[in-house]
Amino acid sequence: MEQLSRSSITVRGIVQGVGFRPFIYHLAHKYGLHGWVYNSSGGVVIEAEGNVMDLSCFIRDISETPPPLAHIESLEVHSALALQGDKEFVIRESSAEEGDFVPVSPDIAVCPDCLRELFDPQDRRFRYPFINCTNCGPRFTITRDIPYDRKHTTMRDFRMCETCQAEYENPFDRRFHAQPNCCPRCGPKLSLWDRQQEIECADPLRETQRLLKEGSIAAIKGLGGFHLACDAANDEAVARLRSRKLRTFKPFAVMCADLDAVRQICEVNAEEARLLQDPRRPIIVLQKREHGSLSPRIAPFNRSLGVMLPYTPLHYLLFAESGFSALVMTSANMSEEPITIGNVQAREELKELADIFLVHDRDIHLRCDDSVAWVQEGRERFIRRSRGYAPHPLSLSVSSPGILACGADLKNTFCLSKGNLYFLSQYIGDLENLEACRFYEHSIAHFERFFRIEPTVVAHDMHPDYFSTTYARKLRAKTLVAVQHHHAHIASCMAEHGVDEPVIGVALDGTGYGSDGTIWGGEFLVGDYQEFMRRAHLRVTPLPGGEAAVKHPYRMALSFLYSRYGENALDQVPALRERVREEEAGVIFTQVERMLNCPLTSSCGRLFDAVSALIGVRDSVTYEGQAAIELEMIADRNVTDAYSWHLWKEQGMLVIDTWEIVDAVLEDLRAGVTQPIIAARFHQTMATVIAGVCEMIRQEGGVQKVALSGGVFQNRLLLERSLHALRAREFEVLWHQKVPTNDGGICLGQAVIAARTGIHKSHT
């Protein structure tokens, strides 16, 4: 006699919006099981009954052969439930339970099945740029509301034709419940415009290809916003794009036709190749090859290049039969404003930048910039975690009561959390203009609605003048938790590694508001989520003119020089005297002398800036971090010796004498040592400082784990040397893999700190 059994199975991880329910439906049919499956806030929930053996095969197959985009984090089975005698297996509507959220999937690159159809002349979607299925296509960026149904997306204006509707309703079709499902008959259409009007043409795509070939700059509507594109091999076009964008040196990202095309211009290792082809399709920063066929203006003074592969059907069509091996694809925006998303807005805002506009009538509801990552020691490191990743949550062991963490004002992202889930927003950008601030507020409102989180605790940076701080304070009724910037950096690194014990935190960045009101940025902290102590920092140095010193690293160089040598400062670096006008140097010296608009800073970023300017690499920057990046780029990788350095103790605090390090740099400079060697020695020195100071702190307190965070650790060379030096002393080192090491990761740290301290605060 057949032995029947019933089990409930809960699958957690990336299991929604990736064709998981049809997959379960198929499996249940294969094994003749009855019951149901549905999407809940806690994951995919299944109940199935049937033959015991079939049931166990069913469960085995779920864990062993999930759909390609699924990532199962856990599979929980309860067996031997009471039999219900279901007559069939059904897919139940996903339900949003009260107080629960319905997951929203990130946007996913077009899948191999759809690509095959896209280029199959027999297929009804041949060359249709909006082809998608359950396994691929737009999600987050077209979602207006939850639950994720067509009527809640920007596809609601398109009525499915009969054929599409039949696919949508057929559980055996790979477009079953694919919300953006459409075809050339019923779906969105492309159109091509110049600055005045629509360009009459039979095929907007082929016309775009032709115009790009001729050197035009095109604004192309993508998934999360517009790109500005031009032929990456056309030096004149790239130069024109640079001058129009007023972007003198900041590297452009390129999109390559395929992996082979990437390999022609960059070195690609196995992990990099995997990430380039990942369905999330981040931009991966790769090592440039010498003498590729690209315009040298794409990433000047840089050894690396940001590269991505096509991710929408439209991108694939752009490359098909075109002969392009790479196109520049840079976010389209006016100055520092958020990426452009609307058609009309694009033609208005980008009219000075683009010659032509390739648009379509599927609206982008939520802006989402490309993600940017690189690979170090075989692991993914984020510069920007956005498209493809947001709004997928991080699952942490620290439980949260419902928190909004507002982030920092640069490279802003925010985080909403509830329970063990932490939803990090897409990249918002610098909260420096009205548009960005609006985008920020708008996105927070969206996230609160999507994930049904009404935060009771709001965490923000300690900086009193941040927009994000002002925003947090406006939310009056809530418990506010002000989090020190570098504490948040370190906590975010701990959190993503699930570390919940005291660590030595090395937080190196450009600027962060310190607990004592000065500007920090070269910090060694000891602490956990609840609290921290500042144990060591770089020696403070005046920052002449505040922001002006950030834009003009030579000001920082002069500040170091004057602090050390007084009136004779310029004699130390004759070359600098030739580059900086005597009067201006005089003004800066007076500023430093009288401490006029001259806050003190322990910033490590500014130290890198100063060294870069002192040795003649970069005096003024056209994008953030440029001086430090170029210093890293020229460093001779074969040089491994360091300058000697010292520190002193001041009321229990270790102070690292950076002036002495600058002295050593000057000495090399006078001795005629080349820039690449000085740059390398300086990097090595900072790595030995990091390891040496951690050692002293360990000897006093016994803490064995070190967390590295802050924007300075985007410097690959410094990170590599620091990891090496710390491991040589047998430290266990935590460094970011899931969120950016720059301020884009701050919100996660704020959230966990608030989760631990916020509830307590609300009672005091």
Contacting positions for Fe ion (CB under 5 A): 509, 512, 743
Q: Please state the closest distance from residue 281 (CB atom) to Zn ion, in A.
A: 14
Q: Please state the closest distance from residue 135 (CB atom) to Zn ion, in A.
A: 5
The residue with tokens 């440029």 is 626
User: How far apart (Å, rounded) are the C-alpha atoms in residues 647 and 220?
Assistant: 54
> Which DSSP state fits 483?
E
183: partner contacted, choices Fe ion, Zn ion, none (Cβ within 5-8 A by kind) = Zn ion
CB atoms near residue 80 (< 10 Å): 9
Q: CA 273, 278, 283, 284 torsion: positive or negative?
A: negative
Residue among 390 and 483 whose Cβ is closer to Fe ion: 483
664: partner contacted, choices Zn ion, Fe ion, none (Cβ within 5-8 A by kind) = none
Q: Please state the closest distance from residue 171 (CB atom) to Zn ion, in A.
A: 17
455: partner contacted, choices Fe ion, Zn ion, none (Cβ within 5-8 A by kind) = none
199: partner contacted, choices Fe ion, Zn ion, none (Cβ within 5-8 A by kind) = none
Q: Please state the closest distance from residue 448 (CB atom) to Zn ion, in A.
A: 31
The residue with tokens 């035009």 is 216
Q: Please state the closest distance from residue 742 (CB atom) to Fe ion, in A.
A: 7
Residue among 26 and 442 whose Cβ is closer to Zn ion: 26
Q: Please state the closest distance from residue 359 (CB atom) to Fe ion, in A.
A: 37
DSSP H or E segment with residue 193: strand 190-193
Residue among 107 and 509 whose Cβ is closer to Fe ion: 509
Structure token digits, residue 426: 């897409």
At how many degrees (to 10) do helices 626-634 and 604-614 cross? Answer: 60
Q: Please state the closest distance from residue 25 (CB atom) to Zn ion, in A.
A: 17
Q: Please state the closest distance from residue 750 (CB atom) to Fe ion, in A.
A: 12
109: partner contacted, choices Fe ion, Zn ion, none (Cβ within 5-8 A by kind) = none
Residue among 116 and 379 whose Cβ is closer to Zn ion: 116
User: How far apart (Å, rounded) are the C-alpha atoms in residues 762 and 764?
Assistant: 6
User: How far apart (Å, rounded) are the C-alpha atoms in residues 623 and 621?
Assistant: 6
Per the DSSP assignment, residues forming a β-bridge with 374 are 381
Residue among 314 and 723 whose Cβ is closer to Zn ion: 314
Q: In 162-182, which positions are buried (b, 16+ CB within 10 angstroms) versus exposed (e)?
A: eebeebbeeeebbbbbbbbbb
User: How far apart (Å, rounded) are the C-alpha atoms in residues 145 and 130?
Assistant: 21
Q: Please state the closest distance from residue 744 (CB atom) to Zn ion, in A.
A: 30
Residue among 181 and 572 whose Cβ is closer to Zn ion: 181
136: partner contacted, choices Zn ion, Fe ion, none (Cβ within 5-8 A by kind) = Zn ion
* Residues contacting residue 154 through CB under 8 Å, at least 6 positions apart: 142, 144, 362, 363, 364, 365
52: partner contacted, choices Zn ion, Fe ion, none (Cβ within 5-8 A by kind) = none
* Residue of this chain nearest to Fe ion (CB atom): 509
Q: Please state the closest distance from residue 710 (CB atom) to Fe ion, in A.
A: 5
Q: What SS3 state is found at 631?
A: helix
Give yes or no for a contact between 31 and 2, defined as CB atoms under 8 angstroms apart: no
Burial of 449 (0-12, 13-18, 19+ CB in 10 A): middle
Residue among 630 and 743 whose Cβ is closer to Fe ion: 743
Residue among 240 and 489 whose Cβ is closer to Fe ion: 489
Q: Please state the closest distance from residue 103 (CB atom) to Zn ion, in A.
A: 19
> Which DSSP state fits 736?
-
End-to-end CA distance of the chain: 66
419: left (phi over 0), alpha (psi -120 to 50) or beta: left
133: partner contacted, choices Zn ion, Fe ion, none (Cβ within 5-8 A by kind) = Zn ion
Residue among 161 and 759 whose Cβ is closer to Zn ion: 161
- The residues binding Zn ion (CB under 5 A) are 111, 114, 133, 135-136, 161, 164, 183, 185-186
Query: What one-letter code names the amino acid at 545?
Result: G
Residue among 49 and 509 whose Cβ is closer to Fe ion: 509
Per the DSSP assignment, residues forming a β-bridge with 38 are 45
* Residues contacting residue 486 through CB under 8 Å, at least 6 positions apart: 505, 507, 509, 512, 514, 520, 521, 523, 525, 709, 710
CB atoms near residue 93 (< 10 Å): 10
209: partner contacted, choices Zn ion, Fe ion, none (Cβ within 5-8 A by kind) = none
Residue among 114 and 238 whose Cβ is closer to Zn ion: 114
164: partner contacted, choices Fe ion, Zn ion, none (Cβ within 5-8 A by kind) = Zn ion
Residue among 167 and 509 whose Cβ is closer to Zn ion: 167
Q: Please state the closest distance from residue 108 (CB atom) to Zn ion, in A.
A: 8
743: partner contacted, choices Zn ion, Fe ion, none (Cβ within 5-8 A by kind) = Fe ion
User: How far apart (Å, rounded) are the C-alpha atoms in residues 412 and 488?
Assistant: 13
Structure token digits, residue 109: 């690159």
Q: Please state the closest distance from residue 496 (CB atom) to Fe ion, in A.
A: 16
Q: What SS3 state is found at 375?
A: strand
**Of 1, 2, 3, 6, which Cα lies nearest the Cα of 85?**
6
φ/ψ of residue 400, rounded to 5: -120, 140
Residue among 180 and 521 whose Cβ is closer to Zn ion: 180
CA 231 to chain centroid = 26
393: partner contacted, choices Zn ion, Fe ion, none (Cβ within 5-8 A by kind) = none
379: partner contacted, choices Fe ion, Zn ion, none (Cβ within 5-8 A by kind) = none
User: How far apart (Å, rounded) are the C-alpha atoms in residues 183 and 283?
Assistant: 29
Give yes or no for a contact between 3 and 51, defined as CB atoms under 8 angstroms apart: yes
111: partner contacted, choices Zn ion, Fe ion, none (Cβ within 5-8 A by kind) = Zn ion
Residue among 363 and 743 whose Cβ is closer to Fe ion: 743
Q: Please state the closest distance from residue 660 (CB atom) to Fe ion, in A.
A: 25
